[in-house]
Amino acid sequence: MNDEQLDSEQPAEPATLTETKNQGLPWRTLISVLALGLIALLAYQYFQDQSNLRPIPPAPVSPVAPPQVNDPAAPTPANPDSAQAQFEAGNTYAAAGQWPQAQAAYQRAIELDPKFQSAYANLGVVYYQLEQLDLAASQYQKALELDPTDGDVAYNLGALYLQQALLNSNSPNLELLRQAVDQLEQARELDPDLAEPYFSLGVAYNALNQKQEAIKAFEIFLTRYSGQDSRASQEAQRYLDALRN
């Protein structure tokens, strides 16, 4: 199979929510897994449009379900209208999948503290869940302005660019693909131990017909990924096999 016959991969959702200003939550991991699933699905669709091979149905991709909470109540600290209190309320709503309420709480936290980096990052996750991708990107960009060393947010933004680039499976957006590569390379440099950027880089390089770069990225991903979802490894191996043939 030549380069034109290969498709890009799905990805994923961007990184995760942060519990305090400097402490990450499992949400970052959960969102990354979801992003991988979405990228894989988009890449699969592109692959089938470009390839004459018999389709190989991908495993179903489903978002990570938030905890089931009945009418959750936001925490009530001593100062309920402080930025930190609103941020924690946003985390509570987000954990319950109540995205509009989480959006309002994070926005209030930002109003009270315009330099609250984690509130911007988590608001980006909320907009992503609400399928408002442009707004999600703007929040990730602001979070990176405030903390250029946040590898998770850098990955989220790169994965988001990649998803947007692959939305039209017949003709991926080359400008967004290049933006995705730049952002994902930044995430890789910021956090060399983070495996997810390599999967997304493999998809992006494949869509750009840069075969050797795609192979290398998928190989590194397979050596480093230890996530809960084996489908990502299976998809990476499948595309790696196709690229080598």
Q: Are 24 and 16 in contact (CB under 8 A)?
A: yes
Q: What's the farthest any 2 CA atoms get from each other in the chain?
A: 63
Per-residue tokens: 103: 């959006």
The predicted-structure confidence for 192-228, as pLDDT tens digits, reads as follows 888 889 999 999 999 999 999 999 999 999 998 876 6
Domain contains 12: yes
pLDDT band, very low/low/confident/very high, at 235 (cuts 50, 70, 90): confident
Domain contains 138: yes
Domain contains 71: no
Domain contains 79: no
The torsion angle over the Cα atoms of residues 185, 190, 191 and 195, rounded to 10 degrees, is -10
Domain contains 124: no
- The pTM of the full predicted model, rounded to 2 decimals, is 0.72
Range of the domain at 36: 3-64+133-244
Domain contains 34: yes
Domain contains 18: yes
CATH of the domain at 154: 1.25.40.10
